[in-house]
Structure 1
Amino acid sequence: MDPYVSFWGYYSRWNGGLLSIFAYIFLYYAFVSNFWNNSEENSKLKGFLNQIPIGKTIVLRSLLVSLISGFLVILWSIPSHFGYDPTCFMFRGTLDVACWTNDFQPRIRIFGPLGQPDWLAGYLGILIPIAGAFLISELRKKKEILNPFLIFYSSCFVLFYVALLYTGSRSGIISGIISIIILFLGYAVLNRKNLNFLKNKFAAIFIVTMIVSTFFAGIRLPVLEKFSLAEFQKIISKNELTPLSQTPTKPEESLAAVEGGSNSLHIRLVVWEGAIAAWKANPIIGTGVETFAFAYYQYRPIEHNKLSEWNFLYNKAHNEYLNYLTTTGLFGLLSYLSFLGLFLIIAILNLADLKIKLLKPLRSEDYDRKDPLLIALLSSFLSIVIINFFGFSVVILNIYLLLIPAFVLIYFGFIKTKTASLEVKNDNVSYGQWAGISLLGIAGLFMIWILLSYWRADTKYALGYNYNRVQEYQTAYPLLHDAIKIRPEPVYLDEMAVNDAFIAASIAAQNATESAQIAQTLVTEYLCP
C-alpha cells in the first residue's frame, strides 16, 4: 500500500518497519557472534578489562545492566504518581504534573520515559522475573540480610511490581502477575527437594513486603481491586455518613466514567473485527508491513463510528498477532508464531528435562536445574507474548523478544563458538581490509546523515504544526514544505494539506472582499446620482 512506510515504519513508532526488522536481526547476530565458550580454558584467558566476553558472563552482565536501567526508569516514574514528575521539572522548572494534559495524567496511570502506561507495564513485566531470578540466586547463597546485592535485587523486584500496579494497565498487570507465578511456582516445583533458602528471614520479610505493597498500591482488576487501601477507605467513608442526611446523592462514577469514553475491551473487539476483514481481502501476504493505518479504514466496521474514539487514527490493531495477520498475511503470522513456538519448545523441553529422542538436538547438557535464570527468562518471554495479545509491541519489547532467546541459547550452551587463541598478529592491513573498513565508514556516515536529516525534517514539522495551531498559517507554510522536501512522511503531508487548505480559504475570502469593494465603488460612481 505504501512502500515508504513499509520500509521506514510508521511515523513516531520506530518499530515494525522493514528497516527496524533488519536492525533487530543485526542486533541478534551481533550479540551471539561476540562471545567465547563457557569453558574453563577460556575463563583463564585475559582480554579487555582483564576478562574476555565468556558466554555466561556476558549474559549475566547484560541482564544486570537491564535491571540497573529499569531501576533508573522507575525512580523517574514513580514520583509522578504522587504529583512530582521529573519530566515537568526538566522542561518547565516545576516539580509537579502540570505539564501534562488531562488525557495523560501520571497521577492516575504512570508512564515514565516510555510515554504510555501499557508500554511501561510491558517493560516491567520483562524485568520482574529477571530481578526475581537474581534474588533467588542470592538467597541460595545464604548471605546476610544486609548484603548489598540482596537489597538491590529485592528493591528492584518490589519497586518494579509497585510501578506495574501504578500503570493501571490491566493487560500488563495480568501478564506481570502470571510471569511472577510461573517464576516462583515453576522454580519451587523443579527444586522441591531443595528449598531451604525459603527459611531465610529475608524471604519472610520479602513476602510480607509484597503483600503490603499490593494492599497500598491496589490492583486494577475487578476481582482483586476490592482488596486495597482505596476500597477500604471508601467503605469507611460510607459508614461514617450520618443518617440525618436524606438528600439524594449523586452515585459515584466508575473509573470508566471518570476517564470517559467507551470500554477499552469493546473498542479492541471492534478494531479486531476490522483487522480480520482487512486480512480476508489480502490473506496470503497481507496489506504490507506497517500499513494497518491505511488498510483498516477501508474495512472499518460501522460500529466504530459509535465509539468515543470514532475520530482516532488506528495505526495498530491493538493485538500484535492480528496486526501481523493483517499486514503480512498468513505467511508473516505463521513465521512469527513459529519463532515463538520454537523458543517455547526449547525452554520447556529443558525445564521439564524431557528426553525425547526426536528433540534431542534441542536439549542442553549444560543446564543446571537449580539455576532460576532459564525459568525467569521463560517467564519474561511469556509476559511479552501475553501483553502483545492485548496491545502491540514497541521497540523495547521487540528488543527483549529477540534477545531473550539469545540469552538462553548462549547461557545454556546451545550456541558454541570455536575456541580461539588471543595471539596478536602484527600483519599489515591489506588493501581488501582497507576497502572493507572504508565501506563500513561510508555506510556509518550515511546512516548518521539520514538521522540528521530526519531530525531536521521533524524539527521543521514540529514548528509548522505549532504555528498551524495558533493560526499562523503563512509562517507554517514554508516550514512544512521544507520538511516534506527532506522527508515525505505521510503525517507531514497531512499537516501540509491542512495548512494549504486554510491558506486557500483565506485567499478566496480576501479576493471576495476585494471584489465586493470594487463592485460597491462602481455602484456609487455610476448608478448613484
Structure 2
Amino acid sequence: MSQSTSPTNHLIDRLILGTILFGLATTPFIYSFSTSELFEFNKMIWVYGLTVALAGLWLIKAVLTRHLTIARTPLDIPLGLFLISQVLATIFSIHPRTSLLGYYTRFNGGLISTFAYTLWYYAIVTHIKKSQIKLVILTLLISSLFASWYAIPEHFSRSFSCVKAGSGFNTLCWSENTNPKYRVFGTFGQPNWLAAYLIMLIPLTIYQIQNSKYKSYLPRLAWIGLLASLIATELFTKSRSGFLGLIIALVVSGLFYLMQYYRARAVRLPVYQIKTHPPNCQTCHQKKTWLTFLVGWSIPLVILLVMLIFGTPFSPSFSGLISSISGQTPVTAPTSFTTEPTEIGGTESGEIRKIVWSGALKVWQRYPWFGSGVETFAYSYYLDRPQAHNLVSEWDFLYNKAHNEFLNYLATTGLIGFLSYLLLLASASWIAIKVYFKSNTTPQAQNGQLAGALLAGLTGLSVTNFFGFSTVTVSLLMFVWLGLISLLAIPPQTPLNPLTKTNIWQQLLVCLCSILMFLGLSQVSRSWHADQDYATATALFKEKHTQATTDLEIEQQNQLAIDTLLKAIQASPSEALYYNKLSEEYSSLALEATQAGQSELTQTLIEASIASSDITLELNPVNLNFYKSRVRVFANLAQIDNKYLEVVRQTLLSAIRLAPTDPKLTYNLAQVKVSMNNLPKALDWYRQTLKLKPDYIQAHLAYALTLEKVGDYAQSWREIEQLELVIGDNPELQALKARLQVESNSQ
C-alpha cells in the first residue's frame, strides 16, 4: 500500500493544466518543411499528441480518485447532438476513412479531430478553475503576440520561416506566387487562416485593456501595444473576409462595452471597481471616470490609427495614398498569387464562391439528411460541379472545401449536421449573453465582460468561416472558447476528496493507462513519420535528374525513393495516396527501363505499377484525382504497349461518371480516341469538351487538327479563324492554315 496520494493528485492536476496551456501556446507555431503539407498536417498531429496526453492524464486521475469526473455544462446537449450528427455522417459517408481522418492535406474536420476538440472542451470545463481563466487568457495573448511578431517582418520581405528553410532572413524560400511579402501568413500557411486566428484574440486583448489595474499605466500600455500589433498583422494579411470578420468582432465588442458603460453610470463607477472606493468618494469617482473615458476611447483610436497607416483590403495605406497623389505606382501582389484560389486570381473571388456554393447546395440536395460524408466535399462536389465553373480562371483547381463553413457542413453532413452546428453556435451565444446580463457584483462583472469578448471572437470567426473554412488552430480555439463560456456559466465544481491510499489494482491500472498513452503517442508519431517518408520519397523522385549525374546515381536514388515510399506504406497501409504515388513512379521507371532496353525489369515494373494503381482505387474509389493519376500511369504504359490505351479509355469513362462537367476528362478521352484512330468518336468528344468549356483553346486546336485529318477543311478553317481572334498570330495555326490551303487546292 502506498501512502497519501494527495501530492500525486495535485501533480496530475498541474500536468493537465500545463498540457492545456502548453497546447494553446504552441499549436499556432507548429509547422515543418519535411512533410507533404507544411502547416495543417503538423498542427493536427500536434493536437492529436496533446489530446492523447490529456486523455491519459485524465484516466490516471480517475483511477487515483476512483471517479471519472466530467463536468456537466449547458452545452452538453447541443454538443452531444453535434457529435451524433458527425458520427452518422461518417457512417453513411461515401468514403468513411476520409470522414474519419479528414481529407489528406487538410486533415482538420474529420471525426477523430472533432472528438479531440470535444475532449479539449471537457478538459477546460472539468479541470480549469475559474480563478485559472486569467492564466489561460494570458497564455493565449502572449502566444498571439509572438505569432504576430513572427508574421509582421514578412510584410517587409523578412521571413523567419526562410531562416528555418536555410535561405536566410528573407522571403526567397517562397515562390513569387506565394510570397508572404505581399500577404503575410506567418506560421499558418495562408493569409486567411492567420486572419481568422487573430480575429479570435483581438476581442480578448480589448477585454484585457479594459480590465488592467489602475495603479500603473504600463500594463495597459502593453496591452494597447499588443492590440496595435494584432491589428497591424490582420491588415498585413490583406484578407477581405478576415477584415469583415474583424469589423463584426469589433462591433460586438463595442456593443458590450457600451452596455457596460451605461450600466456603470447607473452606479456612478465602473462596474468592476464598485468595491474599490466608497460611493461618496467624489474625487475617486472623477479620477476613475476620466480614466475609464480614456480607456474607452484609446481602443478605437489605436485601431483607426493602425488602419490609416497600413490601410485595409478596401482602402490604401497612408504611403500608398501619398504615392497615388504623387503619381507613383505602389508595389502590389501578383494576380496569380495562389495561396487561396478563391480569394484572388483572374476571376473575382465572389463570382467563384457563388459557383462553388451553388455546387454545394446541389450536393446537399443529393444527400439531404446526412450529407456525402464528413470531409468528402473534394469527392462529392465534382459530381454536381456547375458547368459555369469551367468559365472562371480557377476552373481546374481542386476544391476540397465549399469555401463556406456552413455550406460545407450542409453538403457533407446534411441537414442534421448543419442544424446541429447552428444549434451549438446559437446555444453558446445565448449562454454568453446570459452570463453578461447576470453580472451584477464585482467579480461577476468581469465574467460578463469576458463572455462578451469570447462571443465577439466566435462571431468574427463565423463571419470569416462564411467566406472560407476553419483550420486546426481556430477549430481548437473555438472549442476552448465554448469551454470558457460554459465555465463562466456553471457554478464552481466541488473537488473530490483524495483517497489516502491506493491498492495494487489501482497501481496496475495506472500502469495500463500509461502504456495506453504511450501507444497512442506512438501511433500519432507513426502517422507523422509516414507522411514525412512520403514527402521525402516525392522529393527524391523530383530531384533525381537534377542532383544525380550518372546512371548509377539515378538508379540508386530511384531505389532509395522506392524504399522510402514503401516504408510509408508499411506505416500506413490503408493510405491510398501512398499507393497512388508508388504506381505513378513505377510507370515512369518502366518507361525508362524500356528506353534502356531492360525488358525483364520493364515487365516487373509494369506489373508493380498496375497492382499499386488497383490497390489505390480499391482503397478510395471516389477520389477523382486517383482516376486522373491512373490515366497518367496507363498513358505511360501505353507508350510501351498500345493495349493499355483501352485501360486509359475505361478509366476516363469512370472518371467522367464522377465528374461529368470536367472538360479535361472529355478532352483527354478525345485524345485517346485519336490515338486509337477512331476519329469520328474523337470529334464527338471534342465537341462535348467545347460544349462544356467554349474557351478551351487546346481543345479548339486539337479539334481543328482532327477535322483536317478527316478532310473537313472548311470547318477546320473556321476553327482556326476563331482561335486567331483569341490568341492572335501563332506559328502552329499558320502552319495548319498553310496545310489546309494546300489540301483544299489539291482537291
TM normalised by structure 2 equals 0.58
Deviations 1:199-256 (A, max 9, x none): 66566665544333211210002xxx14743133212226xxxxxxxxxxxx999868
Structure-1 residue corresponding to 2:468 = 391
Q: Name the amino acid aligned to 1:375.
A: G
Q: Name the amino acid aligned to 1:474.
A: N
Percent identity over the alignment is: 30
CA distance in 2, matches of 1:365, 1:417: 21
Structure-2 residue corresponding to 1:187 = 257
The alpha-carbon deviation at position 366 of structure 1 amounts to 7.6
Q: Name the amino acid aligned to 1:298.
A: L
The alpha-carbon deviation at position 465 of structure 1 amounts to 1.0
The answer on 1:333 being equivalent to 2:418 is yes
2:127 aligns to what SS in structure 1?
Answer: coil
Question: How many corresponding residue pairs?
Answer: 465
CA distance in 2, matches of 1:59, 1:236: 51
Contact 1:131 1:156 survives alignment (8 Å): yes
Q: Name the amino acid aligned to 1:378.
A: L
2:378 aligns to what SS in structure 1?
Answer: helix
2:383 aligns to what SS in structure 1?
Answer: coil
Contact 2:428 2:485 survives alignment (8 Å): no
CA distance in 1, matches of 2:542, 2:347: 28
The answer on 1:58 being equivalent to 2:132 is yes
The alpha-carbon deviation at position 114 of structure 1 amounts to 1.1
The answer on 1:316 being equivalent to 2:401 is yes
The alpha-carbon deviation at position 351 of structure 1 amounts to 3.5
Contact 1:74 1:163 survives alignment (8 Å): yes
The 5-angstrom pairing of residues 114-513 of structure 1 reads 114-138=188-212, 141-145=213-217, 147=218, 149-192=219-262, 193=265, 196-197=289-290, 207-221=300-314, 225-226=315-316, 228-237=318-327, 257=335, 259=337, 260-352=345-437, 367-368=444-445, 371-411=448-488, 413-421=489-497, 425-431=499-505, 433-470=506-543, 471=545, 474-475=558-559, 476-487=561-572, 488-511=574-597
Deviations 1:340-398 (A, max 9, x none): 111112223444569xxxxxxxx999842795212111101111111111111111111
The alpha-carbon deviation at position 425 of structure 1 amounts to 4.3
Seen in structure 2, the aligned counterparts of structure 1 residues 501 and 266 have a Cα distance that, compared at 3 Å, is: farther
Contact 1:320 1:391 survives alignment (8 Å): yes
Give the number of the structure whose alpha-carbon radius of gyration is greater: 2
CA distance in 1, matches of 2:437, 2:163: 50
CA distance in 2, matches of 1:289, 1:30: 25
Structure-2 residue corresponding to 1:86 = 160
Could you list the runs of 5+ residues in structure 1 that have no partner in the other structure?
36-54, 239-250, 355-362, 516-529
Q: Name the amino acid aligned to 1:172.
A: G
The alpha-carbon deviation at position 184 of structure 1 amounts to 2.2
Contact 1:218 1:227 survives alignment (8 Å): yes
Structure-2 residue corresponding to 1:40 = none
Deviations 1:442-474 (A, max 9, x none): 321221221232233122211221123235683
Could you list the runs of 5+ residues in structure 2 that have no partner in the other structure?
1-93, 271-288, 338-344, 546-553, 603-747
TM normalised by structure 1 equals 0.80
CA distance in 1, matches of 2:430, 2:599: 74
Seen in structure 2, the aligned counterparts of structure 1 residues 313 and 491 have a Cα distance that, compared at 3 Å, is: farther
Seen in structure 2, the aligned counterparts of structure 1 residues 394 and 339 have a Cα distance that, compared at 3 Å, is: same
The alpha-carbon deviation at position 77 of structure 1 amounts to 0.8
Seen in structure 2, the aligned counterparts of structure 1 residues 485 and 29 have a Cα distance that, compared at 3 Å, is: same
Greater helix share, 1 or 2? 2
Structure-2 residue corresponding to 1:522 = none
Deviations 1:170-221 (A, max 9, x none): 1111111211122123211332225625566566665544333211210002
Q: CA RMSD in A?
A: 3.0
Structure-2 residue corresponding to 1:358 = none
Structure-2 residue corresponding to 1:106 = 180
Seen in structure 2, the aligned counterparts of structure 1 residues 109 and 255 have a Cα distance that, compared at 3 Å, is: closer
2:105 aligns to what SS in structure 1?
Answer: coil
Contact 2:182 2:333 survives alignment (8 Å): no
Contact 2:196 2:461 survives alignment (8 Å): yes
CA distance in 1, matches of 2:260, 2:296: 19
Seen in structure 2, the aligned counterparts of structure 1 residues 366 and 70 have a Cα distance that, compared at 3 Å, is: closer
Contact 1:191 1:369 survives alignment (8 Å): no
CA distance in 2, matches of 1:446, 1:419: 30
Deviations 1:76-99 (A, max 9, x none): 110111111111122215111111
The alpha-carbon deviation at position 69 of structure 1 amounts to 0.5
The alpha-carbon deviation at position 481 of structure 1 amounts to 3.0
Structure-1 residue corresponding to 2:105 = 12
The alpha-carbon deviation at position 75 of structure 1 amounts to 1.1
Structure-1 residue corresponding to 2:717 = none
CA distance in 2, matches of 1:253, 1:84: 16
